[in-house]
Amino acid sequence: MTEAPVEVEPGLYDIPADLYHQDPIPGGSLSSTGARRITDCPARFKHLLDNPQPYKPEFEFGTAAHTVVLGNGPELVVVDEKRWDTNETKARVAAIRAAGKVPLKAEARQRIDDMADALANHAEASDLLTPGSGLAEQSMFWQENGIWLRSRIDWLRPDEIVDYKSARSVHPDHLQKAVNEYGYHQQDDFYRRGAIHLGLIPPTGSFKFICQEKQPPYLVTVVELDFPARVIGGELNDRAFYTYAMCRETGYWPAYSEGVTYLSLPKWVERKYAEETS
């Protein structure tokens, strides 16, 4: 389906990113990002829901990389000016953004093209993204236990989901920390359960992250999370769905704690102190 539903029906939709992010579900739906935020703090989630973050130009590089790698996205426009702080150039950049396009410096466009070339030379990543093997930038909407959920898939194959991420480092140690910090294990479960629910992938369908560095030589690591990580991600999502439903019903969005919170020092500090004083 290529248009947003007039009457809400679960399914896969090929709609623009801005329509997806506006949330076309009457009454609202919970996204993967929202699930991760509400898991951390319902009060902060509600604040961000009511006060959307202002546009950040630094996101444009990632958007442009997705467009080139996946072959789907906004038009990219190179603004080949040494300085972007002149009134003339600022006006031109603003007009490009207002038209729904992405302005890029020549250096950034070249870097993205070089990233795409490096990705094409990575056997596993290039195989996953073989043209015609999947659908790019697809939006899913479905229901679980009375709440609407949504997610936007980078690359949907018949048997798996692929998500492309640019990163500072793709060393496994760094990526392990990133998975925990950014909740990628929740994203894995969230996307897979939606695709399985809608019959888009089989129950055994997998989720793979293609992670690529943004600086030369644009190294690539393809990641699949292990079973314990996926289980934890699923349990965190179950908690997020329950919290979201309860907060909507009661109108109460709690912060981290109420009253006095008693804290200890980190365990490693206690151990270090014990070693130094023994």
pLDDT tier, 1 (very low <50, low <70, confident <90, very high otherwise): very low
Answer whether residue 137 is part of any domain.
yes
How confident is the model over 63-68, as a mean pLDDT? 93
- The enclosing domain of 250 has a CATH number of 3.90.320.10
**Which residues have a Cβ under 8 Å from the Cβ of 4 and sit 6 or more positions away?**
13, 15, 19, 24
Answer whether residue 59 is part of any domain.
no
In total, how many domains does the chain have?
A: 1
The closest alpha carbon to 168, from 209, 211, 123, 105, belongs to: 211
pLDDT digits (tens, 9 = 90+) for 219-276: 999 999 999 999 999 999 999 999 999 999 999 999 998 889 999 999 999 999 999 9
Answer whether residue 130 is part of any domain.
yes
Q: What is the pLDDT of residue 2?
A: 44
Contact 193, 148 (CB under 8 A): no
Counting Cβ atoms within 10 Å, is residue 21 exposed (0-12), middle (13-18) or buried (19+)?
A: middle
Answer whether residue 99 is part of any domain.
no
pLDDT digits (tens, 9 = 90+) for 112-143: 999 999 999 999 999 999 999 999 999 999 99
pTM above the 0.85 mark?
A: yes
Q: What is the pLDDT of residue 174?
A: 97
Answer whether residue 205 is part of any domain.
yes
How confident is the model over 67-84, as a mean pLDDT? 91
**Which residues have a Cβ under 8 Å from the Cβ of 9 and sit 6 or more positions away?**
141
Q: What residues make up the domain containing 173?
A: 11-54+122-277
CA dihedral 46, 50, 56, 60 (to 10 degrees): 80
Q: What is the pLDDT of residue 108?
A: 93
Answer whether residue 258 is part of any domain.
yes
| CA 85 vs CA 99, 107, 200, 269: distances in Å | 20, 16, 47, 47
Answer whether residue 254 is part of any domain.
yes
Distance, in Å, from the CA atom of 51 to the CA atom of 244, rounded to the nearest integer, reads 17
Answer whether residue 26 is part of any domain.
yes
How confident is the model over 194-216, as a mean pLDDT? 97
